[in-house]
């Protein structure tokens, strides 16, 4: 691997400051000589999407003796997006070379990215024009984050030596297998995962009802069409099943090109109504 100079890296997540995934990622990158700053929620904030804290104060504290000695770490009472905003505006004196989010405990595949705090933290970096990476381990129970952290280091080296033409968010999902069982790295398009939503009704000690959301994946593998990419390109949902590390470029521009092209033919456009 071609050596590169130390990079300034901002690391966040949605699993919280004490999660094993972010500790493995930050420590691995610090041991490689990079300048790592961690700013994470002070508790788990999964599935918070791109929410921001607007109606209460955000509190932040230095965290010591949890990470590698060269890592500067903060816990933040806000959402993952808050954490990145706070880091860029109030913690860092210099703009980071990359924003990384994760390593999430659980996959972020297909439409999961719309709800994912992990992806939203990385997206906040992209909004600021900083190349960003969201890292996820495709299991809620598997605990070996090291292959994912090692790949993050490899990916950073490649992106430094071969920068993309514009700032991009790369959503990376790593299969929950040992290093030698990983089939390789594959470029994918965003897939689709469908869930069956279940609201379990419960009764609290005061006799009042409340509901607990619990979704089950109804169909794991679907191959939706894409306006600009060949259907022969596998989706992230499909490729992870074959133990590939999936690499999916994402953007925040959600403009529907086909819908736009259809609507621009409407006879009432550009006329006074």
For 134-155, the pLDDT digits (tens) are 999 999 999 999 999 999 999 9
Give the residue among 33, 40, 52, 32 at the shortest CA–CA distance from 10: 40
Give the residue among 144, 130, 100, 131 at the shortest CA–CA distance from 118: 100
Strands 72-76 and 60-63: antiparallel
Containing structural domain, residue 101: 8-189+228-252
pLDDT of 219 over the 80 cut: no
DSSP 52-78: ---SS---EEEE-SSS-TT-EEEEESS
Residue 209 lies in a domain: no
Res 250: pLDDT: 94
The total number of structural domains in the chain stands at 1
Residue pair 136/99 in contact (Cβ under 8 Å)? The answer is: no
51 Cβ contact partners less than 8 Å away, ≥ 6 residues apart: 79, 81, 120
User: How many Cβ atoms from other residues are within 10 Å of residue 111's Cβ?
Assistant: 16
More confident residue, 184 or 255: 184
Residue 217 lies in a domain: no
Classify residue 52 by burial, with Cβ atoms within 10 Å: 0-12, 13-18, 19+. Answer: middle
Res 224: pLDDT: 65
DSSP class of 148: H
Average pLDDT of span 5-25 = 97
- Give, to the nearest 10 degrees, the angle between helix 146-161 and helix 20-31: 50
d(CA 69, CA 112): 34
Res 218: pLDDT: 53
Q: Which residue matches tokens 């299991």? A: 139
Residue 204 lies in a domain: no
Residue pair 66/36 in contact (Cβ under 8 Å)? The answer is: no
Residue 208, both tokens: 């009042």
d(CA 6, CA 18): 25
Res 227: pLDDT: 65
Residue 205 lies in a domain: no
Backbone angles phi, psi at 257, to 5 degrees: -65, -45
User: How many Cβ atoms from other residues are within 10 Å of residue 257's Cβ?
Assistant: 9
Residue 131, both tokens: 């190349």
For 221-247, the pLDDT digits (tens) are 556 666 677 778 899 999 999 999 999
d(CA 96, CA 98): 5
Res 216: pLDDT: 63
Answering whether pTM is above 0.85, one says yes
Q: Which residue matches tokens 């990476």? A: 133
Residue 219 lies in a domain: no
Residue 237 lies in a domain: yes
Q: What's the mean per-residue pLDDT of the chain?
A: 91
Residue 211 lies in a domain: no
In this structure, is the dihedral angle defined by the CA atoms of residues 173, 53, 73 and 34, taken in order, positive or negative? positive
pLDDT tier, 187 (very low <50, low <70, confident <90, very high otherwise): very high
Q: Which residue matches tokens 């930050």? A: 26
Strands 244-250 and 169-174: antiparallel
Res 273: pLDDT: 65
More confident residue, 227 or 49: 49
Q: Which helix (H) or strand (E) holds 61?
A: strand 60-63
Average pLDDT of span 69-95 = 96
Residue 260 lies in a domain: no
For the chain, the C-alpha Rg in angstroms (whole number) is: 20
Res 247: pLDDT: 97
Q: What is the CATH number of the domain that holds 132?
A: 3.40.1210.10
């Amino acid at each position: 691997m071609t050596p590169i100079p130390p990079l300034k890296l901002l690391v966040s997540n949605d699993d919280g400051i004490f999660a094993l995934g972010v500790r493995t990622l930050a420590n691995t990158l610090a041991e490689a000589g990079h300048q790592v700053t961690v700013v994470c929620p002070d508790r788990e904030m999964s599935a918070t999407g791109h929410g921001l804290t607007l109606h209460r104060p955000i509190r932040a504290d230095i965290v010591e003796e949890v990470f590698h000695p060269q890592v500067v770490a903060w816990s933040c009472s806000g959402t993952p997006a808050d954490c990145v905003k706070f880091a860029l505006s109030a913690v860092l004196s210099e703009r980071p070379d990359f924003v990384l989010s994760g390593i999430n405990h659980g996959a972020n595949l297909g439409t999961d990215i719309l709800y994912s705090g992990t992806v939203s933290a990385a997206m906040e970096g992209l909004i600021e024009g900083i190349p960003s990476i969201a890292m996820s381990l495709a299991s809620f129970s598997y605990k070996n984050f090291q292959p994912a952290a090692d790949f993050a280091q490899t990916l950073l080296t490649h992106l430094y030596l071969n920068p993309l033409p514009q700032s991009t968010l790369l959503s990376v999902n790593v299969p929950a297998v040992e290093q030698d069982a990983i089939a390789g790295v594959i470029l994918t398009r965003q897939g689709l995962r469908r869930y069956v939503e279940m609201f379990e009704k419960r009764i609290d000690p005061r006799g009042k009802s409340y509901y607990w959301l619990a979704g089950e994946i109804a169909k794991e593998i679907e191959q939706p069409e894409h306006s600009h990419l060949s259907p022969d390109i596998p989706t992230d949902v499909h490729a992870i099943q074959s133990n590939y590390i999936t690499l999916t470029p994402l953007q925040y521009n959600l403009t529907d090109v086909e819908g736009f092209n259809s609507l621009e033919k409407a006879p009432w456009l550009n006329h006074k109504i």
